[in-house]
Chain A
Amino acid sequence: MLKTSRLALALAVLLLTAVQARSDEGEYVLNKDNWQKAEGLLPDPVLKRVKAGDYSFKVVPLDAQKFRENYSTSYWAASEANEGKYDLDAETCGLKDKATGKMPDWVFGKPFPKIDPKDPQAACKVAWNFYLANQMGEGAGATFTLNGIDRNGEFRRIKLWLHSNAYLGRHKKDDNNPENLRGTSLSHAMEPSDAEGVNILGQQINDWTSQDNIWAYIPQTRRSRRVNAASRSDPISGLDIFSDDLNCYAGKVEYYKWKMTGEGEVLAPIVGPYALKQTPVGPTRFDVTIPYLRGAYETPGSEGAPWQITENLVFVKRPVWILEGESTDPYYNFGKVIMYVDKDMSRIYWKSVHNRAGEYFYTAMCGYHFSKSDDGTFSATTPNLVMGVNDKTDRAALGGRYSSQFLERNFDPQYFSLRALSRLSD
Chain B
Amino acid sequence: MSAATSAITGDGAIEALGSRPPLRRVAIMAAIAAALGLIVFLTVLPGLREAAPKRTGEPVVGLEPKQIRQVDVTPRDGSPYSFARKDGGWVIKLPGGESVVPSDRLDGFLETLAGLTRLVVIDEPDLNRAEFGLDPPRAVVTMRGDKEITLAIGDRNPPLTALYVQVLPKANIVLVGAVLLWEFDKLTALARTPPVEP
Contact of B160 among A335, A358, A360 (CB under 8 A): A360
Is B53 in contact with A359, judged by CB distance below 8 angstroms? no
Q: Is residue B177 within 8 Å, beta carbon to beta carbon, of the partner chain? A: yes
Interface residue tally of chain B, by bracket?
A: 20 to 34
**Cβ contacts B105-145/A at 8 Å (1 or 0 each):** 00010001001110100000000000000000000000000
Q: Is residue A392 within 8 Å, beta carbon to beta carbon, of the partner chain? A: yes
Q: Is residue B66 within 8 Å, beta carbon to beta carbon, of the partner chain? A: no
CB distance from B62 to the nearest CB of A (A): 17
* Listed residue (B57, B104, B179) with the most chain A CB atoms within 10 angstroms of its CB: B179
Measured in the bound complex, the distance between the Cα atoms of B115 and A45 in whole Å is 24
Is A45 in contact with B160, judged by CB distance below 8 angstroms? yes
Given known A118-B196, A357-B57, A358-B115, contact A336–B161 (CB-CB < 8 A):
no
* Listed residue (A45, A48, A338, A359) with the most chain B CB atoms within 10 angstroms of its CB: A359
CB distance from B56 to the nearest CB of A (A): 9
Which residue of chain B is the closest to A393 with respect to CB atoms? B159
Given known A259-B104, A391-B160, contact A359–B52 (CB-CB < 8 A):
no
Question: Chain B residues with Cβ under 8 A from A330's Cβ?
Answer: 52-53
- Give how many A-B residue pairs fall within 8 Å (CB-CB): 59
Question: Chain A residues with Cβ under 8 A from B57's Cβ?
Answer: 357
Measured in the bound complex, the distance between the Cα atoms of B159 and A360 in whole Å is 9
Is B176 in contact with A44, judged by CB distance below 8 angstroms? no
**Cβ contacts A331-352/B at 8 Å (1 or 0 each):** 1000110100000000000000
Which residue of chain A is the closest to B51 with respect to CB atoms? A330
Given known A118-B196, A331-B53, contact A358–B178 (CB-CB < 8 A):
yes
Measured in the bound complex, the distance between the Cα atoms of B180 and A360 in whole Å is 10
Question: Chain B residues with Cβ under 8 A from A156's Cβ?
Answer: none
Q: Is residue A376 within 8 Å, beta carbon to beta carbon, of the partner chain? A: no
Question: Chain A residues with Cβ under 8 A from B116's Cβ?
Answer: 357-358
Binding site for B on A (CB under 8 A): 44-45, 48, 118, 259, 261-262, 330-331, 335-336, 338, 354-361, 391-392, 394
Q: Which 4 A-B pairs have the closest CB atoms?
A: A358-B177, A358-B179, A360-B178, A359-B177
Task: Pull 12 A–B residue pairs with CB atoms less than 8 Å apart, ordered by A.
Answer: A118-B196, A336-B179, A336-B182, A354-B182, A356-B53, A357-B57, A358-B115, A359-B178, A360-B160, A361-B161, A391-B160, A394-B159
